[in-house]
Chain A
Amino acid sequence: MPKIELTNLQKSYGAVSVIDGLNLTMEDGEFTVLVGPSGCGKSTTLRMIAGLETVTGGEIRIGGRDVTHLEPKERDLALVFQDYALYPHMNVAKNMSFALRLARYDKSKINSRVNEVAEMLGLTEYLNRKPAELSGGQRQRVAMGRALVRDASTFLFDEPLSNLDAKLRAQMRAELALMSKRIQKNMVYVTHDQVEAMTLGDRIVVMKSGKIMQVGTPEELYRSPANLFVAGFIGSPTMNFLDGELFEENGRLFAKGNGFALPLPDKRKAELATHTGRKIIIGLRPGNFFMGNGENALELPIILSEYIGAQSVLMSELGGQTITIEVSSEAPIPSGAPMEFLIEEEGIHLFDSKTEEAL
């Protein structure tokens, strides 16, 4: 299972630069997710790794071998497409065995391999069907099966679940997670859905406008986002951002906004000292609020209360801005009357308002 290294990778269409000097290493046997909004260059990056897109500049190495200008078939990888890309004129078995037949494998070996994978994916009874005779979820499985049959060293996924409905997507996501555990291959997965990224990825690469914003484990990205973009992109509901400034009072550091002040942990005092008095952006995760009272409690109005079972998502107002709060709830929380909330200290994220980098 080879390591994939991208060095100063560039892609431009004419004068338009899509990928601008990407450096990234994907370790052996790791599930790497490239995530970002539409047009951030994640699919282009994947297609360059696959060899379907020419590289404008830089280098791609797989297992130490320079594959930058090699044909896809010389790279030993399998790709699952967003629209499945099944061959419409071949039945499921033929679709799955196409690569093996091209490689002139033994007929008996092809059959046993196809049957094995079909069994694993629950496709055995559909082997003689054409793609048009299958439902969306089954086509998805065939696309996966075609990749699995190959036994390639690297699996690439280009938004494989985005054409499925919500329920099926959740189910396939779980199956995919199980499969990746079982086959232990190098996987690169592209998605715009941060939930998919968080649940599937060993490591997540957040991209924006052809640049990498942050690379890290799901937990790292959630707990310590490197900048405003990652903070806003990862996590659902999204983080609340409020304008404010840092100030010190009686030896304690506060993040002060319009009409509120949040005490910061003393351990952060040293690193933040240079920013005192400067304009900052305060980021608060909706999930880091909890009901309770005390010295630092904030009394917040409940504008709207959405009860979704174990949780309630509340719309409130702080510092003149609308914020979202997520709290666990046994019964629906009434809207109208203000309530008191505390904020976990670790849930307070601070960003430089100019550079948008985390402080």
Chain B
Amino acid sequence: MFLAPAAAILAIALLYPIGYMIYASFLDWNPSQRIGEADWVGMRNYLKLLNDAAFWESTWVTVRFASIVVTLEMIFGVGLAMILDRNLRGMSILRTIFILPMMIAPIVVGLMWRYMYHPQVGIFNRTLKSLGFDTIPFLSESNWAFASVIIADIWQWTPFIFILSLAALQSLPQSAIEASRIDGASGWQQVLYIKLPLMLPVLIVTVLLRLIDAFKVLEVILVMTNGGPGLSTEVLALRISRTASEFRELGEAAAMSNALLFLLMLLTVIMFGYTKLQEKRAAKLRQAAQEEI
């Protein structure tokens, strides 16, 4: 009964847009039409997607992009956290500097990197030229463009993983780490056998959060390459936005969105399942300990 207002708000704020999108994915809908005027086409949009090579290419680009950036960000983020997890003077300032990229609006990040990658005036190519090397087609060659957007994303999002890992590291039981030093563990062995296993629950949630985010990446790539050259950096979100605004196929765009949504839901379910598993295990442990007393 008391949940009624909350349920109503939830229904309007959450379910209405999603329901609208699902409904729209069954329509042949042009932006100049009102939704009521659009024709019902059943599964046609979805069937079209299945046979749309460009859509599959975008999906593949997205999956590659997400898995590469998240893997590299995890390595750099966790590594940085391990290195900076100590009490040296000025460390708090250093940590603050490290998390700055995350606070910049993605559009600005995109613009910034686009200028840095610029073939003539960009800092990278100017430096290369002044050192006597050939310039690199950062944004105009497919493989380089893909690598370039990955670098920009890593630059922006490694701090996110860094912060969470650092928090996880600093909440580890200090005495367990000291005990491992007494037991003869070297620095690497402490990381491998004690720190990483104890951080694992946080790391898994971090990976899933970052994956969900990486699958939705749009602004930085939109500004930097707008999906080009060719389709080499056209991630799903970009494809969706282009389908809706350039190709004026709202129904198809909605169907794509649903496909992406489904993918993300899958990740969320994995995350949810994982948290549930953790809770269950913790409850079991607690119970076992209590029976003992």
Chain A interface residues (CB < 8 Å from chain B): 50-52, 71-73, 77-79, 81-89, 98-99, 102-103, 129-130, 132-136, 138, 146, 150
Chain B interface residues (CB < 8 Å from chain A): 173, 175-176, 178-186, 189, 193-194, 197-198, 200, 282, 285-286, 288-289, 292-293
Contact status B189-A102, CB under 8 Å? yes
Q: Smallest Cβ distance from A301 to chain B, in angstroms?
A: 46
Q: Smallest Cβ distance from B122 to chain A, in angstroms?
A: 47
A85-B173, A135-B293 given as contacts; is B183 within 8 A of A150 (CB)? yes
Q: Smallest Cβ distance from B48 to chain A, in angstroms?
A: 49
Bound complex: CA A133 to CA B287 (Å): 8
A88-B173, A98-B193, A102-B189 given as contacts; is B289 within 8 A of A79 (CB)? no
**Sample of 27 A–B contacts (CB below 8 Å):** A52-B178, A52-B182, A72-B184, A73-B181, A73-B184, A73-B185, A79-B178, A81-B175, A81-B178, A82-B175, A83-B173, A85-B175, A89-B197, A98-B183, A98-B193, A99-B182, A102-B183, A102-B184, A129-B288, A132-B285, A132-B286, A133-B292, A134-B292, A135-B293, A136-B293, A146-B183, A150-B183
A87-B176, A89-B198 given as contacts; is B293 within 8 A of A72 (CB)? no
Contact status A88-B178, CB under 8 Å? no
Residues of B within 8 A of A83 (CB): 173, 175
Contact status B182-A72, CB under 8 Å? yes
A89-B198, A98-B193 given as contacts; is B289 within 8 A of A73 (CB)? no
Bound complex: CA A50 to CA B282 (Å): 33
Contact status B182-A73, CB under 8 Å? yes
Residues of A within 8 A of B173 (CB): 83, 85, 88
Bound complex: CA A104 to CA B183 (Å): 12
Give the nearest-CB partner of A83 in chain B. B175
- 4 interchain residue pairs of minimum CB distance: A85-B175, A99-B183, A73-B184, A132-B285
Bound complex: CA A100 to CA B150 (Å): 43
Contact status B176-A52, CB under 8 Å? no
Contact status B175-A133, CB under 8 Å? no
Bound complex: CA A89 to CA B286 (Å): 15
Bound complex: CA A146 to CA B180 (Å): 11
Contact status A79-B285, CB under 8 Å? no
Bound complex: CA A79 to CA B173 (Å): 16
Residues of A within 8 A of B182 (CB): 50-52, 72-73, 77-79, 99
Give the nearest-CB partner of A156 in chain B. B182
Contact status B179-A85, CB under 8 Å? yes
Give the nearest-CB partner of A79 in chain B. B182
Bound complex: CA A72 to CA B180 (Å): 10
Give the nearest-CB partner of A133 in chain B. B288
Bound complex: CA A84 to CA B182 (Å): 13
Given contacts A79-B179, A83-B173, 18 further A-B contacts (CB under 8 A): A51-B181, A72-B184, A73-B184, A83-B175, A86-B179, A87-B179, A87-B194, A89-B200, A98-B185, A98-B193, A99-B182, A102-B189, A129-B288, A130-B285, A132-B285, A132-B286, A132-B288, A133-B288
